[in-house]
Chains A and B, each alone.
Chain A
Protein backbone atom coordinates (compact mmCIF):
# COMPACT_ATOMS: atom_id res chain seq x y z
CA UNK A 1 0.00 0.00 0.00
CA UNK A 2 2.88 2.34 -0.82
CA UNK A 3 1.59 5.85 -1.48
CA UNK A 4 4.29 7.23 -3.80
CA UNK A 5 6.71 4.76 -5.32
CA UNK A 6 9.74 5.22 -7.53
CA UNK A 7 11.79 2.82 -9.60
CA UNK A 8 14.61 2.19 -9.59
CA UNK A 9 15.89 3.03 -6.12
CA UNK A 10 19.48 3.15 -7.35
CA UNK A 11 20.73 3.88 -10.83
CA UNK A 12 24.38 3.79 -11.85
CA UNK A 13 25.19 4.66 -15.43
CA UNK A 14 27.85 6.16 -17.64
CA UNK A 15 28.06 9.62 -19.10
CA UNK A 16 26.20 10.02 -22.35
CA UNK A 17 23.60 7.35 -21.62
CA UNK A 18 19.84 7.92 -21.58
CA UNK A 19 17.86 6.75 -18.55
CA UNK A 20 14.35 6.95 -17.11
CA UNK A 21 13.00 7.06 -13.58
CA UNK A 22 9.42 6.02 -12.97
CA UNK A 23 7.02 7.38 -10.38
CA UNK A 24 3.58 6.17 -9.43
CA UNK A 25 1.13 7.35 -6.79
CA UNK A 26 -1.93 5.46 -5.61
CA UNK A 27 -3.41 8.33 -3.63
CA UNK A 28 -5.71 9.59 -6.38
CA UNK A 29 -3.86 12.91 -6.42
CA UNK A 30 -4.08 15.37 -9.29
CA UNK A 31 -0.67 17.01 -8.95
CA UNK A 32 2.76 15.44 -9.20
CA UNK A 33 6.28 16.83 -8.90
CA UNK A 34 9.92 16.04 -9.48
CA UNK A 35 12.55 17.43 -7.11
CA UNK A 36 16.32 17.10 -7.20
CA UNK A 37 18.45 16.82 -4.03
CA UNK A 38 22.07 17.68 -4.75
CA UNK A 39 25.22 16.51 -3.02
CA UNK A 40 24.76 19.23 -0.39
CA UNK A 41 21.32 17.83 0.39
CA UNK A 42 19.55 20.88 -1.04
CA UNK A 43 16.13 20.10 -2.54
CA UNK A 44 14.93 22.00 -5.57
CA UNK A 45 11.79 21.75 -7.69
CA UNK A 46 12.29 20.60 -11.27
CA UNK A 47 8.82 20.02 -12.67
CA UNK A 48 5.22 20.15 -11.56
CA UNK A 49 2.30 18.51 -13.35
CA UNK A 50 -1.36 19.08 -12.66
CA UNK A 51 -3.82 16.64 -14.18
CA UNK A 52 -1.21 15.53 -16.72
CA UNK A 53 -0.38 19.10 -17.74
CA UNK A 54 2.95 20.77 -17.11
CA UNK A 55 2.57 23.78 -14.79
CA UNK A 56 6.14 24.36 -13.69
CA UNK A 57 9.39 23.83 -15.51
CA UNK A 58 12.20 25.36 -13.55
CA UNK A 59 15.54 26.13 -15.19
CA UNK A 60 16.26 22.53 -15.95
CA UNK A 61 18.31 21.50 -19.02
CA UNK A 62 16.10 20.28 -21.84
CA UNK A 63 17.91 16.93 -21.58
CA UNK A 64 15.36 16.31 -18.80
CA UNK A 65 11.89 15.50 -20.07
CA UNK A 66 8.98 14.58 -17.82
CA UNK A 67 6.16 12.48 -19.16
CA UNK A 68 2.78 11.92 -17.57
CA UNK A 69 0.87 9.11 -19.27
CA UNK A 70 -1.94 9.43 -16.74
CA UNK A 71 -2.66 11.19 -13.45
CA UNK A 72 -1.07 8.42 -11.39
CA UNK A 73 2.28 8.41 -13.18
CA UNK A 74 5.01 10.96 -13.78
CA UNK A 75 8.17 9.62 -15.34
CA UNK A 76 11.46 11.44 -15.77
CA UNK A 77 13.59 10.77 -18.82
CA UNK A 78 17.14 12.06 -18.96
CA UNK A 79 19.15 12.18 -22.18
CA UNK A 80 22.93 12.38 -22.54
CA UNK A 81 23.64 12.04 -18.83
CA UNK A 82 26.37 14.21 -17.35
CA UNK A 83 28.42 13.88 -14.17
CA UNK A 84 26.55 16.83 -12.69
CA UNK A 85 23.27 14.96 -12.97
CA UNK A 86 24.35 12.73 -10.09
CA UNK A 87 21.86 13.39 -7.31
CA UNK A 88 18.84 11.96 -5.56
CA UNK A 89 15.61 12.55 -7.47
CA UNK A 90 12.36 12.65 -5.54
CA UNK A 91 8.88 12.33 -6.89
CA UNK A 92 6.00 13.81 -4.90
CA UNK A 93 2.26 14.21 -5.23
CA UNK A 94 -0.51 16.30 -3.70
CA UNK A 95 -4.28 16.13 -3.92
CA UNK A 96 -4.42 19.45 -5.71
CA UNK A 97 -2.05 22.36 -6.14
CA UNK A 98 -1.25 23.93 -2.79
CA UNK A 99 -2.11 20.86 -0.74
CA UNK A 100 0.18 18.73 1.41
CA UNK A 101 2.85 16.99 -0.61
CA UNK A 102 3.79 13.34 -0.16
CA UNK A 103 7.21 12.20 -1.25
CA UNK A 104 8.51 8.97 -2.71
CA UNK A 105 11.62 7.22 -1.35
CA UNK A 106 13.93 8.79 -3.93
CA UNK A 107 16.14 7.47 -6.72
CA UNK A 108 19.86 7.85 -6.27
CA UNK A 109 21.41 8.47 -9.68
CA UNK A 110 25.17 8.11 -10.05
CA UNK A 111 26.77 9.05 -13.34
CA UNK A 112 30.32 7.78 -13.86
Chain B
Protein backbone atom coordinates (compact mmCIF):
# COMPACT_ATOMS: atom_id res chain seq x y z
CA UNK B 1 0.00 0.00 0.00
CA UNK B 2 1.34 3.40 -1.01
CA UNK B 3 2.63 5.62 1.77
CA UNK B 4 3.79 9.18 1.30
CA UNK B 5 6.09 10.88 3.79
CA UNK B 6 7.09 14.52 3.93
CA UNK B 7 10.12 15.84 5.75
CA UNK B 8 10.43 18.15 7.58
CA UNK B 9 7.01 18.55 9.16
CA UNK B 10 7.72 22.23 9.78
CA UNK B 11 10.29 24.69 8.51
CA UNK B 12 11.06 28.30 9.40
CA UNK B 13 13.31 30.41 7.21
CA UNK B 14 14.12 34.09 6.78
CA UNK B 15 12.90 35.87 3.68
CA UNK B 16 15.09 35.43 0.63
CA UNK B 17 16.33 31.95 1.40
CA UNK B 18 16.17 29.13 -1.11
CA UNK B 19 14.64 25.99 0.36
CA UNK B 20 13.83 22.39 -0.43
CA UNK B 21 10.84 20.38 0.72
CA UNK B 22 11.14 16.62 0.57
CA UNK B 23 8.59 13.95 -0.29
CA UNK B 24 9.10 10.20 -0.42
CA UNK B 25 6.78 7.42 -1.51
CA UNK B 26 6.98 3.67 -1.02
CA UNK B 27 5.53 2.39 -4.30
CA UNK B 28 7.29 3.70 -7.40
CA UNK B 29 4.43 2.63 -9.69
CA UNK B 30 2.79 6.03 -9.65
CA UNK B 31 0.83 7.75 -12.37
CA UNK B 32 2.00 11.22 -11.42
CA UNK B 33 2.98 13.30 -8.42
CA UNK B 34 1.30 16.56 -7.50
CA UNK B 35 2.37 19.35 -5.16
CA UNK B 36 -0.25 21.52 -3.47
CA UNK B 37 -0.31 24.52 -1.22
CA UNK B 38 -2.88 24.90 1.56
CA UNK B 39 -3.37 28.16 3.45
CA UNK B 40 -5.00 27.98 6.92
CA UNK B 41 -8.73 27.34 6.66
CA UNK B 42 -8.58 27.21 2.88
CA UNK B 43 -8.70 24.65 0.13
CA UNK B 44 -5.81 23.20 -1.83
CA UNK B 45 -4.12 25.06 -4.63
CA UNK B 46 -2.33 22.94 -7.20
CA UNK B 47 1.27 24.09 -7.69
CA UNK B 48 2.91 21.55 -9.95
CA UNK B 49 2.16 18.15 -11.42
CA UNK B 50 4.90 15.84 -12.63
CA UNK B 51 3.92 12.96 -14.86
CA UNK B 52 5.62 9.64 -14.15
CA UNK B 53 7.65 9.98 -17.37
CA UNK B 54 8.96 13.44 -16.43
CA UNK B 55 11.90 14.38 -14.23
CA UNK B 56 10.90 17.90 -13.27
CA UNK B 57 8.47 20.77 -13.69
CA UNK B 58 8.95 24.49 -13.13
CA UNK B 59 6.57 27.32 -12.42
CA UNK B 60 8.00 30.70 -11.55
CA UNK B 61 10.11 30.35 -8.39
CA UNK B 62 9.01 26.75 -7.91
CA UNK B 63 10.75 23.68 -9.26
CA UNK B 64 9.63 20.14 -8.54
CA UNK B 65 11.67 17.06 -9.34
CA UNK B 66 10.73 13.41 -9.46
CA UNK B 67 12.93 10.34 -9.08
CA UNK B 68 10.65 7.33 -9.32
CA UNK B 69 13.40 4.77 -8.87
CA UNK B 70 14.32 6.14 -5.46
CA UNK B 71 10.75 7.07 -4.55
CA UNK B 72 11.49 10.76 -4.03
CA UNK B 73 10.28 14.16 -5.07
CA UNK B 74 11.51 17.57 -4.03
CA UNK B 75 9.95 20.99 -4.22
CA UNK B 76 12.49 23.78 -4.53
CA UNK B 77 11.37 27.30 -3.67
CA UNK B 78 13.73 30.07 -4.73
CA UNK B 79 14.03 33.42 -2.97
CA UNK B 80 11.31 32.69 -0.42
CA UNK B 81 8.82 35.40 0.53
CA UNK B 82 6.48 35.80 3.52
CA UNK B 83 3.58 35.11 1.15
CA UNK B 84 4.99 31.60 0.64
CA UNK B 85 4.05 30.73 4.23
CA UNK B 86 1.58 27.84 4.03
CA UNK B 87 1.40 24.07 4.29
CA UNK B 88 2.81 22.25 1.28
CA UNK B 89 1.36 18.87 0.45
CA UNK B 90 2.78 16.19 -1.76
CA UNK B 91 0.45 13.59 -3.28
CA UNK B 92 1.09 10.51 -5.38
CA UNK B 93 -1.51 9.45 -7.88
CA UNK B 94 -1.78 5.70 -7.59
CA UNK B 95 -3.07 4.03 -10.74
CA UNK B 96 -4.66 7.24 -11.93
CA UNK B 97 -7.54 6.83 -9.52
CA UNK B 98 -6.87 8.84 -6.38
CA UNK B 99 -4.23 10.91 -4.66
CA UNK B 100 -2.36 9.54 -1.66
CA UNK B 101 -1.24 12.49 0.43
CA UNK B 102 1.66 13.10 2.76
CA UNK B 103 1.03 14.94 6.00
CA UNK B 104 2.55 18.14 4.69
CA UNK B 105 5.34 20.55 5.51
CA UNK B 106 4.29 23.78 7.22
CA UNK B 107 6.51 26.59 5.98
CA UNK B 108 6.94 29.90 7.76
CA UNK B 109 8.91 32.66 6.03
CA UNK B 110 9.77 35.63 8.22
CA UNK B 111 10.41 39.12 6.90
Task: Mark A residues whose CB is within 8 Å of B.
Answer: 33, 35, 40-45, 48, 55-56, 58, 90, 92, 97-98, 100-106
Contacts and interface: CB of A to CB of B under 8 A. Distances in A.
Interface residues of B, number: 22
B43 A90 contact: yes
B34 interface: yes
Contact of B101 (A44, A58, A102, A104): A44
A101 B99 contact: yes
Contacts, number: 52
Contacts of B76: none
Interface of B: 31-32, 34, 36, 42-46, 49, 87, 89, 91, 93, 96-101, 103-104
B96 A90 contact: no
